[in-house]
Amino acid sequence: MKFICSECGYSSLKWLGKCPNCNSWGTFEEEVELKASKNIVSQDISISKISEIEIEKEFRMRTSFEEFDRVLGGGLIKGEVVLVTGSPGIGKSTLLLQLSQEYSKLGAVFYVSGEESASQIKQRADRVNVKSENLYIVSDTKIENIESIILKEKPKVVVIDSIQTMYSQNLSSIAGGVSQIRETTLKIIEIAKKNEISFYIVGHITKDGKLAGPKLLEHMVDAVLQIEGEENNYYRIIRSTKNRYGSTNEVSIFDIKENGISEVKNPSDFFISDRDEKNIGSIIVPVFEGSRVFLFEVQSLLGTPNFGMPRRTVEGYDKNRVEILSAVLSRSLKVDVNSKDIYINIPGGINLSDRSSDLAVVFSLLSSISGKPVSQKIAAIGELGLRGEVRKVSFIKNRITELEKLGFTGVYLPKSHKEELENEENNKSKRKIKLNYISNISELVERIK
């Protein structure tokens, strides 16, 4: 018997409060070691030259949820194991039940639940209008029983809800422990790869936002999808944090309704829809997420501190980055912005990490300071350096194209992109959006005065 750190896998013969390897607290869990069988019979294995291996044409199982398929990389592949995570009540089971109906059009789908009875799942299915003759409910938690029925019936897709409730009879530890999660996941991966059966595995999130169970779980599966959002909000964000068969950091937006979850076809319009014609302290920034551009609104507000220490209240943005940008702005304006209360908000629940939103944050603060409104059809793109210089960003053409598509009339962007944008295919005359080039934040200050 030994204890394993669920974060890094460090082992110890006794329980420790703090892991000496990764310095995490309270992560040690008891693990029961399996005894190796004495009657081990070696098996012949085959080897192949890479030049002689033939690859079949990739087949992906698609659904009517185009946004979800895009996050997976174009659809679900045969034998793929996808881990779906999210906080309790976020909609994991509801989404997977609706996806099960979509995949049942291609063949049999097993929904294995260790948390709910068949009648409880049926009630949810009726609520979200899920009806299919090829969708089967399995209420069991023993992985050996589940393996037996899967190998007998050979379904196309299997949903495991959730991995924390599954257990193997080969281990004496309780379900949800490090050993059980690792053993059952290994068995699921073995079934998936040998029989080309695709799996969705539901994984719970701990109170600090991390995946419950061993960190190894995320490395074992082919893809990890995280569902984000707040229970009282009517939308959900599905983010791909790992994908062996597609790009990572893909994002799709879904809407929560009474009859289930539906996809948002135009996410950019979804995030910036509730805006006035002119707004003080508000501007749009096109941000690259995965393989596409999203438009987000940056809002700011300045106030006078009631006490000695000014406040920094930031939602959806890096608080330390706001400190840096306010210092750069103070130097350019010759005004002590740092002595003011600063409030920054990114509506929609998204956390912006793209540095190309620096210029939009500064633009928003300038509007709040001067009291001058900004047109809702104006955007800003650019990363700021400590000297106030506006630096180049990636995928500038894609960002401008998205702005044009949604009817924006002007955008502020780094001057270093001027040659790149004005030399290509005579689009200077074709473009419907005005490109305002700036090289330093002081130029922006002069234009807003």
pLDDT at 147: 94
Q: How many CB atoms lie within 10 A of CB 56?
A: 6
| β-bridge mates for residue 263, sequence order | 254
- CATH domain 270-448 topology: Ribosomal Protein S5; domain 2 (3.30.230)
pLDDT at 36: 46
Residue with tokens 């949820």: 65
Q: Does domain 59-265 match CATH 3.20.80.10?
A: no
Q: Write the CB contacts of 268 (distance below 8 Å, at least 6 apart in sequence).
A: 286, 293, 294, 295, 402, 406
Residue with tokens 């030399």: 423
Both tokens of residue 67?
A: 């946004």
Q: Write the CB contacts of 111 (distance below 8 Å, at least 6 apart in sequence).
A: 96, 97, 100, 121, 135, 136, 137, 138, 159, 161
Give the predicted TM-score (pTM) of the model: 0.78
Task: Please state, in angstroms and rounded to a whole number, the distance separating the CA atoms of residues 361 and 344.
Answer: 8
Local confidence pLDDT in tens for the 449 residues of the chain: 678 887 777 888 888 888 888 888 887 877 765 554 455 556 677 788 888 877 767 789 999 999 899 999 889 999 999 999 988 888 899 999 999 999 999 999 999 998 889 999 999 999 999 989 999 999 999 999 999 999 999 999 999 998 989 999 888 777 877 788 888 999 999 999 999 999 999 987 765 555 555 567 888 899 999 988 776 677 888 988 899 988 877 888 888 887 888 888 877 777 776 777 788 999 999 998 777 888 999 999 998 888 778 888 999 899 999 999 998 888 877 777 888 899 999 987 778 888 999 999 999 999 998 888 888 899 999 999 998 899 999 999 999 988 998 889 999 999 999 888 877 655 555 778 999 999 998 888 877 76
